[in-house]
A and B are shown apart, each in its own frame.
Chain A
Amino acid sequence: MKEVTISELERRFQEKIDNDIKIEPKDWMPEEYRQTLIRQISQHAHSEIVGMLPEGNWITRAPNLRRKAVLLAKVQDEAGHGLYLYSAVETLGADREATIDDLHTGKAKYSSIFNYPTTSWADMGTIGWLVDGAAIMNQVPICRCSYGPYARAMVRVCKEESFHQRQGFEIISLLAQGTPEQKAMAQDSLNRFWWPSLMMFGPNDAESKHTAQSMKWKIKRSTNDELRQLFIDVTVPQAEMIGLTIPDKDLKFNEETGHYESGPINWDEFWEVVKGNGPCNKERVDARKKAKDEGAWVREAAMAYAEKRKERSAIRA
């Protein structure tokens, strides 16, 4: 067989990408593409799993049986998303437990939004409405990502996220139209989550170190600023519709461009939270570590039992 040079492999790889042909696990891919995907998909998986915690915080205090069931189902969906995403990471040859260890040592990041506390029931609405809303904006383009397993996982994830977004909006609209206490709770929640939600799209394009290469590889299909603008344009009228005020005194609609213009984002806060100085970074990672550490004996028992069964059936056979 003829020896194929690396540059030829790279050319064929990029040609597939340019022609929108999906890259599959067994296909040749540049090492950097593989590493970028491992980093991005495992961080996405970690975000799903860490993201269970702020909402999990309210499961035992949900105000009625229906809300309790819906919230449980929603948080369980996030666990399911984590599971497909870890599986997608494994198709790239990475080890699920090793990527989880990276989360626990702080080497791997997750979405910074989950480092903010959920202090009221209204936050269950706001998280669905804004956080899942922003996640959908980020994830819909990933359904067309060049890596097959990631793109396919995202199709299912996005369907569930859009359901989450609607249930969140339903919670918050009900509060916004409720008693004065409920309205105040809803507005307070929006005040706390608005800016961190805008930060979910990542740094401005000029500051984003991964964007250019990821766009070329079609891992990323839109820039951070494009998606953030889309989110603002969709969300501001929703807030107006239910009578809540976006906490941005500079926010205005530009008739010429047809877009909303917002005030400056506090990027110092963003980077501090990314570095680990957010209000709940330590609690979130500690909770995950605790689950892993306290579950060690259970996993060991399951392995030991499986081993014993194998031995016993070998003896019988």
Chain B
Amino acid sequence: MEKNTDLFEYVLRMGDDSLILGHRISEWCGHGPILEEDIALTNMSLDLIGQATNLLEYAGELEGKGRDGDALAFLRYDREYKNLLLVEQTNGDFGKTIMRQFFFDAYRKLLFERLIKSTDIQLSAIADKSLKETKYHLKHTSEWVIRLGDGTEESHNRIQESLDALWKYTAELFFANEVDSKLLAAGIIPSMEGLQEDWNEIVSSVLEEATLTIPTNNWKQEGGRIGRHTEHLGLLLAEMQYMQRAYPNMKW
């Protein structure tokens, strides 16, 4: 049972990342800066909601208490969500949305590439499917970071500001605690060695091409992985959980 508790926690983190970020990007639907980009953002949101569904359903099975993906998505309290602080940050302008997504995509691509080698068949299958989507997302967001960074003076300044504001949330991408070490020791997840270095390489090469500057302030803001969130999550949940809270125990 020990294995399932740790793996539950591990899968839940990923499910929550996908869910909260998928929800955030879905706020763009109908309001994008160009029709083509509205469609692209909605695609990313759909992929993330799809990943969230697979991951949270699986988390529910691992937990073994009869909660399904919807129960986990819609009926937990804020402290029980284990997503990164990065993904719950508000959309801001298009540049901030892109920068947030770019940081996340680079991390997720590297994570899924490793998790394909998981000895847990279900986790490996989800990673395999999600990796294909994530590679597209990363390509798309990298291109936009470069375009906005090296576009006009205004776009450069705007996206640099978003980079500065979001940078402190990126350390949490590499959060690990005893859950990770136990799963590694049990041979369920592969080693994440080099993940942070690889991430730094992807990110710095794109930011360099975008003529953007990585902040020298290395203050790190963490907490999401242990359920301690920013003010933004509560508001997001109030909206997302509205129907399930207002009309409990009904089928939709």
Interface residues of A, Cβ cutoff 8 Å to B: 49, 52-53, 56, 59-69, 72-73, 75-76, 79-80, 82-83, 86, 121, 171, 174-175, 178-179, 181-182, 287, 290-291, 294-302, 304-305, 308
Contacts and interface: CB of A to CB of B under 8 A. Distances in A.
Interface residue SS majority, chain B: helix
Nearest to A295: B33
Given A65-B53, A178-B250, A304 B29 contact: no
Contact of B49 (A49, A68, A83, A301): A68
Contacts of B244: 63-64
Nearest to B158: A297
A294 B250 contact: no
Interface stretch (B36-44, B120-128, B165-173, B222-230): B36-44
11 contacts: A60-B26, A63-B74, A64-B74, A69-B46, A69-B53, A72-B46, A75-B42, A76-B46, A171-B252, A291-B32, A297-B154
A301 B155 contact: yes
Nearest to B54: A65
B34 A61 contact: no
A147 B45 CA distance: 36
B93 interface: yes
B94 interface: yes
Contact of B148 (A56, A171, A298): A298
Interface residues of B, number: 48
Q: Main SS of chain A's interface residues?
A: helix
A60 B49 contact: no
A290 B152 contact: no
B69 interface: yes
A61 B154 contact: no
Contacts of B27: 59-60
Contacts of A80: 39
A301 B239 CA distance: 33
B226 to A, nearest CB: 25
B161 interface: no
Given A75-B30, A83-B39, A294-B33, A62 B243 contact: yes
Given A287-B31, A301-B148, 7 more contacts: A52-B38, A59-B26, A60-B26, A64-B73, A67-B252, A76-B39, A297-B152
Contacts of B94: 294-295, 298
